Structure 1
Amino acid sequence: MSNPLIIDAPKGQPLIDYHREFEFPVHSVFAAHTDPDLYARWNSSGSTPPRYDLFEPRSGGAYRWVQVGDDGVEYVSRGVFHSVRQDEFLLQTFEFEGYPDVVTLEYSTFTELPGGRSRLTGHSVYPSVGFRDEFLSNGMGDVMSDGYNQLDELLASVRAGR
């Protein structure tokens, strides 16, 4: 059974806080966020994996990826990795090219828990409450939850050597 994704969207504030626990060590969860092959296997909302034009998960690095929807339309996202601390922290921006100039600042903290478990804590800051609310109303909370469930499956298969 997967652990639930907990999302908090404080009324009147342009931010989202979230956390989720994993039954895997912090190193594995962090690697799944910074290894392009692993990332593409769980962070995809379509039936085909995303294509990475650029993926440099290091301080000062950048990324750009293209997700082709089931309708054949390309959806492009990009951002900058401002700070990357191995197995601890990612600070990056996220921008969907369909909404130019709407950039989200995303903090991700990775914490080791007893028993080889870990917790991911996220904090996303949006340009406005309206954009934050649009993000939520478009079902992105469900997409995030589904992605983390896929991450559980991926890490279980890696652990099993598949």
Structure 2
Amino acid sequence: MSDLEVIAEPGRQDIVMTRTFDAPRDVVYRAMSDPELLTRWWGLDSTTTVIDRLDLRPGGSWRFVEKDRDGQEYAFHGVVHDAREPEGFTQTFEFEGMPGHVLLERHTLEELEGRTLYTSLAVFQSVEDRDGMVASGMEDGARQSMDRLEELLRTLRTQG
């Protein structure tokens, strides 16, 4: 069962999201940094994700494209500021459908007796940008992705 928690306190420019995964953090980091594995969990249940690029190192960049059943594409990109395997990484995030609304994300992975506590801190340029993200259904999308990530981690554990 998911223990996803999304905290978006009124008047603040940040969202904190946490979830525990039943896998060691090196396995979780691999699932979050390997383009082949990312396509299996990132995005909505109703879309397919294509990794255009992923260079997970300081100064690197990334771009993912979600494609829906009708052929519509939704692209996201950013710049990597920090990456420390298996502790986590920091990157910018921008939806290409709304250029100029860039946020900074820090993804942290903590080992907890064979399990991993994932924490995402997203800092927005304004409260309005943050509130727009919350109103967009971000929590439901995050839940879909995190649930698929948990399923993927289950298969990786049985393979490894």
Q: Deviations over 1:45-103 (max 9, x none)?
A: 15453122211111211011211122311111100111000010210000001111100
Contact 2:6/2:16 (8 A) holds in 1: yes
Q: 1:22 to 1:46 in 2, by over 3 A?
A: closer
Q: Deviations over 1:84-130 (max 9, x none)?
A: 0001021000000111110010011110001x111011110111111
Unaligned segments of structure 2, at least 5 residues: none
Q: Deviations over 1:133-161 (max 9, x none)?
A: 11111111011011111111111112222
Higher deviation after alignment, 121-130 or 45-54: 45-54
Match for 2:146: what amino acid? Answer: Y
The alignment status of 1:141 with 2:139, answered yes or no, reads: yes
Q: 1:48 to 1:17 in 2, by over 3 A?
A: closer
The alignment status of 1:110 with 2:112, answered yes or no, reads: no
Return the alpha-carbon distance in structure 1 between the equivalents of residues 159 and 121 of structure 2: 33
The alignment status of 1:87 with 2:76, answered yes or no, reads: no
Contact 1:46/1:68 (8 A) holds in 2: no
Q: Which aligned pairs between 1:13-162 and structure 2 lie closer than 5 A?
A: 13-114=12-113, 116-161=114-159
**What is the TM-score when the length of structure 1 is the normalising length?**
0.93
Aligned-residue offset at 1:27 = 0.5
RMSD between aligned alpha carbons? 1.4
Match for 2:116: what amino acid? Answer: S
Return the alpha-carbon distance in structure 2 between the equivalents of residues 79 and 7 of structure 1: 22
Contact 1:109/1:122 (8 A) holds in 2: yes
Secondary structure of the structure 2 residue equivalent to 1:42: coil
Off by >4 Å, runs of 4+ in structure 1: none
Secondary structure of the structure 2 residue equivalent to 1:142: helix
Return the alpha-carbon distance in structure 2 between the equivalents of residues 159 and 98 of structure 1: 36
Secondary structure of the structure 1 residue equivalent to 2:143: helix
Contact 2:45/2:145 (8 A) holds in 1: no
Return the alpha-carbon distance in structure 2 between the equivalents of residues 88 and 59 of structure 1: 14
